[in-house]
Structure 1
Amino acid sequence: MKQLHRKDLFGWSLFNEERNLDFHSVLWVRPEGNVLIDPLPLSAHDRRHLQALGGAKLIVITNFDHIRASWLIARENGAKLYGPAGDRDLISFPCDVWLEGNEDIVPGLTVFRMTGSKTPGELALLLENDTLITGDLIRSHVGGELCLLPDAKLQDKRQAIASVKRLAALPGIKTVLPGDGWPLFNNGGVALQRLAAALDG
């Protein structure tokens, strides 16, 4: 795993040839137990690294299409699974906690429901008020810029835009880590506001 912009954040990626971009997973290392977000399959190296960092206490799935290796890694680590309540009927395994949105998973990690996206329960996560971790709706196909999931995959574009604008109005966001595409370690909040403004047109 690679260290991200903070000493307690790590990530690993998988290049998707069909979409010509990277898929990402995030690990938050914390004394009370580590949090994995949308975990992709782990290489042997990354599995050893995860164990060296303390394993995983809980795993958060942002949407049905980001189940990835969550179930397997949860079993390997004895981790609790947190899934989006709106996608409950789509996920074939039980989660320990179903997240509705607008709640804290653990202190410092707040979940927001992204209505209008391609699955009914998609979530975005705000880590300690300055790092936004997104699932599918907000992505980055070009370095330094954010974009919206294509219209054809949205359930309701009006609601999707409202979801983006709600996040863009949050103060203090510096970093945006999309599940798909380029991470924006600096000026992520500015890019998010730019995306929200462009959606007005």
Structure 2
Amino acid sequence: MNIGNNIKQLRQRLNLTQEQVALKLGVSYQAVSKWENNANTPDISLLPEIADLFGVSIDSLFTENIADCPDIRSFMRDDDVIRVVQIRGQKILKVSSTFSPGEPPIEIAFPHDCNDETQYFKVEVYGHVIADGAINGDVICHQSINSGTINGDVRSDGNIDVKELNGQNITCQNITDCYKLSANKIECGGNISSANLTCDQIIYKNRS
């Protein structure tokens, strides 16, 4: 593992001192020095901040040759999408839309102020989305969604079960027990159940 050497190379590439890196990460410059000398390793909770500071992926921090790592800004847009990296020990886990029956669900609590400007954010989830309150933002879900209210576009590989849904484009298998549903376009593979439906265009997929 070359994380210490990589941090040093990335710091020097940006012409930053150890003190400047320490200040940005909220640690002491002695801690940064220990990382670079391989006397210690960063706390796992700091990895996203370190990667963001240097403009690389977390995976790149552990690569054998940091010079071969692409700059994250060259292929990832600054699109305000919340992305979650799963790490087991020091191993970056690959995200898969296929889960074993015995695999426990991963619960993520998004802070209320995750978007200080508009309280609107986008999220992509490989699994089920279960929310007690409202989701203000676009949601891509690779399984089913159960929520109180969603204000944003939704694309789900499974069913959508919400009390209220307001979006421009909705794509799913079924919409069940939605009291109020408003959209410009809905693409559905099954049935739509809503007491109050307002939609300009409904396309039923896989129907002859």
Give the TM bin, normalised by the shorter chain: under 0.3
Which protein has the larger Cα radius of gyration, Structure 1 or Structure 2? 2
Higher relative contact order (CA 8 A, sep 6+): 1
TM-score normalised by L of structure 1: 0.27
